Amino acid sequence: MRFFPSQRFLVFYSGLVTLAFSVTVLSAFVMQTSRASSQQEDARKILDEITVKKINIVEPNGTLRAVLSSSAGFNFGQRAENGPVRIAGLMFYNEEGQETGGLVYRGQRHSRRSGVRLCVDL
């Protein structure tokens, strides 16, 4: 007893199953690629405004190279030993993590006393 009268049906069926399998596998790769590219786009978002107290800029090995901070962020290390710091700005650090200069601002709200300082240590 022959179930299919010809082999033409089997050839057609195997081609259809192969095509369906190929489409399924390729769509999985396409979805994975589009998901990865959307994650990269999320990582590079453009923000209209950001509010932070301190930004540390470090090398890939973790060495501190620059700090952009409010006055509260500069109260660490040797600066904290001398009392509270009232400056805000950008500080630069060398390969050993020692402060080598910066651009800082200090001012009082209800006074005419203020100042800006650019320091570069060589």
Summarised one tens digit per residue, pLDDT across range 84-102 is 667 788 888 888 878 888 8
- pTM (predicted TM-score): 0.53
Classify 5 in phi/psi space as left (phi over 0), alpha (psi -120 to 50) or beta: alpha
- What is the structure's pLDDT at 83? 66
| Domain boundaries, given as residue ranges, for the chain | 1-46, 54-120
For residue 26, how far is the Cα from the chain centroid? 31
Q: Give the C-alpha distances (Å, rounded to integers) separating 92 from 15, 74, 103.
A: 66, 12, 9
Query: Taken in order 23, 28, 30, 34, is the CA torsion positive or negative?
Result: positive
User: What is the DSSP code (8-state) at residue 98?
Assistant: -
The mean per-residue pLDDT over the stretch 4-20 comes to 79
Report pLDDT digits (tens) over 45-84.
777 788 888 888 888 888 888 888 887 777 665 565 666 6
- What is the structure's pLDDT at 106? 79
Which residue type sits at 21?
F
Whether the CB-CB separation of 77 and 87 falls below 8 Å is answered with no
What backbone phi and psi angles, to 5 degrees, belong to 72? -65, -30
